[in-house]
Amino acid sequence: MLIMNPSSRTTNGLLILATFVAAPASTQAQDATPAATSLVYPLDVSVAKDAKTLFLVDRKLPGLWKTTPAGTLEVLYPAKKQFRTPLNAVRCIASDGKGGLLVGDSGTREVYRVTVDGKATPLTKGGIGIAMGIAVSTDGTIFVSDLELQRIWSIPAAGGQPKEFAVLPAPRGMTFDKNGQLWVVSGGPKNQLVRIDAKGKITAVVKDRTFIYPHDVAVALDGNAYVSDGYADCIWKVTAEGKTSKWVSGKPLDNPVGLDWQGTNLLVVDSRAKQVFSITPDAKLTAVKFGM
């Protein structure tokens, strides 16, 4: 999901980070993140195995947040305000499949594994550019879409040197389907939604430029895919054959970005609405309430 200034919508140019300050082998933030009264610019969400606890990243609230059993938000990892410190510039989040979390941070050009007790460990020693999406295969291999370097990287489950898996223009959100194929949203001039098999072969699902500004993709068990489109203020439905239709559109959606499944409901993070929405299979949208 490409991050835009909240006050403007720009499609030209990429954010290039020329310097990097490496994080230690494992790190725990020292400065507590100030208490928040509301979400400011949320970007992505990950649903825990219990299907109740949510983990959130907010570009304007450094660190990592989680919901409590009472439905309030609390800090899991209290990142510092200082740029190029761990989890200061978070952009994406995903489950590692083992109870932990994987978080992409452009400020340190890194992917971190965060445990349930809030310990964050860098996995690549700054080996990527701008992580926009994370997905984990059944064997635990981590895949990261890199907006800056125009690559999909594979990273060993335990961390290590990233390896090139596929080359794709402006890759953003991605996810695996039940057949082990990696679906990736692209901001390129064509082939805006693709599938990539285990050998790295790319097959276009949406070949023409249907979406205006796609951010993320989620694939249901029935094979249909759902794509968030910030400029179109909608969630698209895409069949396995590539047929597209607007599934949910218009207000209160304002800039839908991150997606994840909560059971059969699709959670949608909207950065401009400063909200997380839940959409039922029959396309009914409601706001997820947080007591902060």
How far is C-alpha 197 from the chain's CA centre? 20
* Model pTM score: 0.86
One-letter amino acid at 240 equals A
Mean pLDDT of 194-221: 96
157-191: pLDDT as tens digits: 999 999 999 999 999 999 999 999 999 999 988 99
Mean pLDDT of 96-121: 94
Q: What is the mean pLDDT of the chain?
A: 88
Q: What are the boundaries of each domain within the chain?
A: 42-287
Mean pLDDT of 267-288: 97
pLDDT at 36: 52
Task: Specify whether domain 42-287 bears CATH 2.20.25.650.
Answer: no
pLDDT at 224 over 80: yes
pLDDT at 63 over 80: yes
